[in-house]
Amino acid sequence: MNRVRTANVYADLGIPNADEMQVKAQLASQIGEIIKTRKWKQGQAAEVLGMPQSKVPKMLRGQFRGISEAKMLECLTRIGLDVQIVIGADNHPTTPGRVSDVAA
């Protein structure tokens, strides 16, 4: 049986809340890239991000079920990034909208 693949691996795997998980993965990736670029140690990253040190590596490995999108957005602002949320037009009134992030 051939499955149709989407741009969301979580949806492809049938994971509940796939859109939310995809957004969290993208946010975690952005946070991880900044930590790597700034060469922060785990403790330093945890302090700046305002989260327990034990959660930082878990989040960066994709284990972010216990971390809200709001917390991840807060992490981005704590490291000096601006976060913008854009609500798009209702182009498809019969289908649900989607959530995504765009890095500038």
Q: Assess whether pLDDT exceeds 60 at residue 75.
A: yes
pTM for the model stands at: 0.77
pLDDT (0 to 100) of residue 70: 93
Calculate the average pLDDT of the chain: 86
pLDDT tens digit string along 39-73? 999 999 999 999 999 999 999 999 987 899 999 99
CA-to-CA distance for 83 and 4, rounded, in angstroms?
A: 32
CA 29 from chain centre, in angstroms, equals 7
How many beta carbons lie within 10 A of that of residue 31, not counting itself? Answer: 21
Mean pLDDT score, 26-32:
94
At 39 the pLDDT is 97
